[in-house]
Amino acid sequence: MRAVVQRVTNSSVTVDEQITGKIGKGLMVLIGVEDGDTEKDAEYIAKKVTALRVFDDAEGVMNLSVQDIGGEILAVSQFTLLGDVRKGNRPSYFTAARPEEADRLYRKVIDLIKEKGIHVEEGIFQAEMLVQIDNDGPVTILLESHKLF
């Protein structure tokens, strides 16, 4: 499972000209589920997202988590994170999980984050979405549950 985590001042996702999710200060999390991922991968991503210390403390040091600052999370499923372009220029998505399994594990990540008391907004699974991200910093962190990077 992969995730791109961005520290944001605000972020939103729109589907068919309707905002389906909107947050203020917090994290924008794009989540890609790979074939073979399990609930352990979802647990790893949820734990890392909620514990990432990417917000400034009183001394201006990135030392606080989204939970510490009372921030929010906007989660969007994004299978294109699994795009492989090592051969050619058109991404191959053969490692992406089937939609049913991807949705189940994406939901598991969201449920685990909510269990920590963090407010989560969402996109719509498999919909064409317009995502607005006001990346703060910019701060962008890549997560990979198989620890490839």
Rounded Cα–Cα distance for residues 99 and 76 (Å): 14
Rounded Cα–Cα distance for residues 95 and 83 (Å): 8
Q: Which residues are part of the catalytic machinery? A: 78-80
Task: Kindly state the tokens that stand for 46.
Answer: 């949820």
Residue 8 near residue 26 (C-beta atoms within 8 A): yes
